[in-house]
């Protein structure tokens, strides 16, 4: 009998996916992408009218499994929202094993990737960092810095 996939809501993702671990996991992916060792799959975007998009972002982690992020990006009176799901599948059986809140995963992953790129590209003696932006995507790097995220 197949077990139901694990589900991680936004609060659980925020409480368990820390910036430092995310940066550590992303480092090999960044290296593979920048050296050409990884060939990322194409993303698909569907326009839904003014300020609204739906996207499918597939990925393959080899023996770890495969999956996709399904995300909607909508401009609202409160600003731009990124909402969706990340779905992961077992590499051998193809069964879904995990569903996570894509909005929170995106906020944390984006901040972690930005911090990782900064760590790799910044001068070794750099002591200051400027963060520019607004909204949830801009606040996430500040939370990561408050957690002491470093590689």
Question: pLDDT tens-digit profile of 52-95?
Answer: 999 999 988 778 889 999 999 998 888 778 899 999 999 999 99
CB 68 within 8 A of CB 54: no
Looking at per-residue pLDDT, the higher value among 22 and 87 belongs to: 87
Sheet holding 66-76, edge to edge: 6-8, 96-101, 79-89, 66-76, 52-60, 44-47
**What's the whole-model pTM score?**
0.77
Domains of the chain: 6-121+131-145 (3.30.1780.10)
């Amino acid at each position: 009998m197949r077990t139901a996939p694990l589900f991680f809501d936004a609060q659980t993702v925020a409480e368990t996916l820390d910036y430092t671990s995310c940066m550590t996991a992303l480092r090999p992916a960044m290296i593979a992408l920048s050296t050409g060792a990884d060939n990322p799959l194409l993303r698909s975007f569907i326009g839904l009218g003014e300020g609204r998009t739906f996207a499918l972002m597939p990925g393959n982690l080899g023996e770890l499994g495969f999956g996709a992020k399904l995300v909607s990006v909508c401009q609202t009176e409160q600003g731009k929202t990124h909402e969706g799901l990340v779905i992961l599948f077992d590499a051998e059986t193809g069964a879904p094993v995990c569903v996570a809140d894509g909005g929170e995963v995106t906020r944390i992953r984006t901040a972690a990737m930005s911090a990782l790129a900064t760590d790799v590209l910044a001068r070794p003696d750099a002591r200051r960092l400027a963060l520019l932006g607004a909204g949830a995507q801009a606040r996430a790097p500040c939370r990561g810095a408050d957690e002491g995220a470093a590689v």
